[in-house]
Structure formats: C-alpha cells, structure tokens
Amino acid sequence: MRCKAVVSSFAFASFLLSSAASSAFAAPSDDAQIRALRLEMAQMRKEMMGQISTLKVRLARSEATAHHAGRAGTATTAAENSRATRRVITSGPVDPSVQFAEPAPGANRIHLANSGTPTSDRGDIMSWKSFKAATASDEDVHVGGMIIGFPKGRFTIASEDAAYALSIGLAFHEDFGGFFNAGPRRGEGRGAFNSFTSNMRRLRIPFTFRYKNFVAAVTPDFGANHNDGYVGLYEGNLNYTGLRNTILTVGYFQPRVTEEDSESSNDFFTLERPSITDMVRNIAAGDARFSVGALHYEKRWWIAGYFTGQEWGHRNASDSSSTYYGGGSGTTMDSQTGATLRVAGRPVATKDWDVHVGASGISAFRLACNAASSNSGSATSCSRSTSFGQRPEFDIGEANLAATGAISNAKQVWAAGPELGVRWNRLLVKGEYYHVGVQREGAGLKSAGFQGWYGSAAYTIFGTPRMYSEKSGAFTAPGVKDNEEFNPALNHWGALEVVGHYSVIDLNSNLGDANAKNVIRGGQQTVWTGGLNWYPNRHFRLMLDFSHFIVSRSEQATNIYGRTGNSVAARVQAGF
C-alpha cells in the first residue's frame, strides 16, 4: 500500500508540473527563460517517471510474492515483505536527493534462515526447484540481472531466474595430536606412531556448476591422502535432478553405501569413520570412484544404487599411493567393476523421536587384473588379489596394525549388513554390522570371511540436536541458529556435544585350516573413543578425541605379538 501511495503522489506531482509548465509557456516572458524552464521541468519529469517505473517493478514483485505465499496457504508478514523488497538493487534514473524510507545499510546483511547445520563437504546437488527455493529463503543481492548470495551457507552467483549458477564451497579439516603408551614390544617394528604431528586431512574446494536441473560437481582435494602433500580429485561428476527427489549421477563420485558413508565428513561423531564402514566402502565405492547410478528419497524411505568402476588415478603408475587408499598400478589390464545398493526406512518420525533402519550391500564382482610383468604389452596372464587393513581410527599417517596382507586368487569380494539409528530428543544412538566375504578360485583354496561392527552415541548439551536428513538417509551434525552463535557478551555459546564410540573389526579367517594358503591372520582390532565437539556457528567446529585401541597379533611387522595404545587428537574444521 505504501508503494501505491508513493506512486500516486508522484503521478499527482507530475500532473502539477505539467500544468505549471503549460501555464509557464502561456505567460509572457523572456524566451530564453521559458526554454530553460521547459528543459528543467522536462528533466524533472523524466527523473520522476524513472522513480515511478522503479516503484512499479518493486510493487509487482511484492504483490507476486504475496500472491504466491497466499496460494501456499502461508501468511506473509510485513517484515517479510520489507525483507523481500529491500534485497533488490535496481539500476535506472534515480534522484539521490529523494528518499524512499529505505532500510539502513546494516539491514542488507545476509541472513541464513535455517537450523544452522554445517554445509556438506561435497558439491551440493539439488533440483532447480529446490535451488530456487534455497536462494529465495536467504537474503541475497540482485545486481545487473544476477543474484549474489549464500543459499545454505555456500557462496553462489546465479542468474535472475536461478537457471545458471556457480557455487564455491570449502571443507577444511586440520588434524593434530599423537600417540602415547603405544610403543612396540621387543622384536616388533615401531611403525609410524608419532608422539605429536599434524595432517591436513581434507582441503576440498567444491565447485558446483548449474544449468537448471543439470549440475556438474568438481571438487579438487589438497588433502587427498593420509599424509600431507598429496593433491587429488574428490569428485568430478554430472547430475540430473529434474525427477522428483531423485539425483542421477555419472562420473567420479562417492557412492552412498552404509549410514556412516552417507554422512558428510563435516558431520562425523569422531575424527574418523568406524573401521568396518571404512573397510566396506572401499570394496567398490569410496572417494572418487567412477559411478553410474541414482538415489531417491521420501520422508519415510531412501534408496540408492550404483554401478562402479575404478578409482580416479588407479591406473597411474607414477605413485603407488596416487589414489585415496593406494593401489595405483601402471600394469592394469582389466579395471575393477562392482556395484552398491543401500535401502533405508524411517518408521518413526516425530519431534522427539526418529528411528532409522536400513541395509547396505556392496560387491566387486570383478577385481582389477594386473599384469604379472611390468611390460604389460607382452603379458599373457595377470593376477587378481585384494587386501584389507585399517588404522586405529586416527589418521595422521600411522601404520596399520590390523591387516590381512595380499589375498591372492581373489575372484569376487562382497559385504552386506544392517544399520540402525534412534534419536530421542538430544540423544542419538546408532550402529552397523557387516560381514565381508572373499571368494577365491584355485585348487584347495577356501573363501575368506571377515566381520565388524560399531556402536556410537552422541548427546547435544546445548544447541540444536542432531536431526535426520531425508535427502541423505542419515543423521546431520548439531545446528547453531544465527541468534545462538558464539558471543560471550550475549551469553551465547553455539552448540556442544559429547560423543562415545565402540568399534571392532575381525580380520582373521580360517585360522585352524590345515592348508596354510587358507589361513589369514589379520588380527582383531577394538577401539574405544570419547570426545567433545564444539560448534561456535554453523561454519566452524573444534573436535577433541581420546582413543584407546587393542589389537591382537597379526602378520604385520609392527604387530607380531599384539599391541595396545592411546591417542589424543584434535581437529579444527571449516565448512562453506
């Protein structure tokens, strides 16, 4: 109504000026003065018409917003109308001496209207409809037909209709800490168990390019391995989001398998995933794995399946650790192929309760075939093998204590198991179990079997508790609303949670078999972890973990007789 009144006032003023001009022309006076007056009044009329045009545009947008909200059954408040109006900057003939009750400069501060959960460590793939809604929900700036803003906390430049967009993010994880009381026994190798060191665990810069429902995600990673100094590719894929609650993907990707692996690393309870989920995901998924597949989600259920191939850089012989988990080979004659499937349900979804149940399966039904000779062009045969090994869930370059070594004549590897999670108010408890099988071929060779499980709990002391994400079929990190961000002067402290974790993997198989080729002594590893996670706001987190590990003897030179130890680790994290 205010805009209409202003428009009417300008129209009336324009009429008066026109009348005055006519009178001036009719009055007898000097011709030069008449011409000067005529020019001045014409300029004033032009400027006021420009102001009227600007106000009409604003009024039309305001009415369109109100009409849309009315159709959705949502009442639009005066404050929201004011916010929707003030975030538009238009160009045109504007007289700086004329004031239109515009808000103070501070009112244009970008405001994130959501629960304040951390951003993802990946390219944020959403439909065009969801992207437009996310852009409209946060305050943004319109300049020359472009929108500049931070939908979901990530810097984004988009066209006026949000059809074209470029988003740039950040996932920064710096770890530091060390081991104590973890020394070797007599006759064992010491291993890389630093008393204090640091590691750039992740330094990802997600670039997301959009044209309507087609999205390309490219994320280089400057912390792509277990030690500082490696640069790799976390993802490079194309996506289509035009189908309801569905994302179709092709390219280098992290296929979603297991509940833990479906979470962003920005949301982990502790610094690292449980050993069993990390082991399972790398059979035929993991980071930067070539994938073709899709996921679909609803409020009560979630499903995803992918056909997978090799990891990025797996055929690069320049460095045997060129991939995320090693294994690069220049003699690969036949790349690995596999598949993943995960289904999840949410039978209970209330304000105070969430119950999650699911199951995941993964298989490398054809392992990579590496030439027996370094001269792959003349090789007539090749070997297929696999191996498993896990660090004691603190990743600063330490050695594996539980490891199988190479398992030769491996034809196929698979894993399957259930997952369960329950949230009650501020308490979240979850766990998973997986059995891993290795099918071998050859006279007298038996299949190998391994297993593992974990249980984790988190309690949010203050801040928004962990909630369920329908899109990922997993739980998020605690949230910090913008009016709860760390500010001691206002007695605001962000969010704080206490976490606990129990994890077991058993890498022993066929220990009593008479055929030594069937005996695999990888050891059993148990890890107890407790920690605190503090979120001053949605973009930053500080983590502190204490772990105690117990590993039975394996065939590793660092663990001939069994080994125990402790670690203290911290992480500073930033996510945009």
195: how many CB neighbours lie within 10 A of its CB?
9
186, two tokens: 């007599």
Residue of higher predicted confidence among 83 and 285: 285
98, two tokens: 């004329």
128, two tokens: 């065009």
User: What's the CA dihedral at 497, 502, 505, 511 to 10 degrees?
Assistant: 170
- Calpha distance 55→65 (Å, rounded): 15
Specify the range with the lowest mean pLDDT, choosing from 133-147, 232-246, 526-540: 133-147
Residue of higher predicted confidence among 438 and 68: 438
| pLDDT exceeds cutoff 80 at 220 | yes
- Calpha distance 467→312 (Å, rounded): 33
| pLDDT exceeds cutoff 70 at 90 | no
pLDDT for 53 equals 58
pTM for this predicted structure: 0.77
Q: What's the rounded mean pLDDT across residues 108-121?
A: 57
| pLDDT exceeds cutoff 80 at 42 | no
Q: What are phi and psi of 62, to 5 degrees?
A: -65, -45
**At a CB cut-off of 8 Å and minimum separation 6, what does 1 contact?**
none
Residue of higher predicted confidence among 325 and 120: 120
pLDDT in tens, 378-404: 556 778 899 999 999 988 877 899 999
546, two tokens: 């204490």
- Calpha distance 1→9 (Å, rounded): 12
- Calpha distance 352→424 (Å, rounded): 6
DSSP state, 290? E
Residue of higher predicted confidence among 429 and 231: 429
pLDDT for 399 equals 81
Q: What's the rounded mean pLDDT across residues 15-27?
A: 45
Percent of the chain with pLDDT over 90: 61
Q: What's the rounded mean pLDDT across residues 297-311?
A: 96
DSSP state, 516? G
| CATH number of this structure's domain 128-373+381-575 | 2.40.160.10
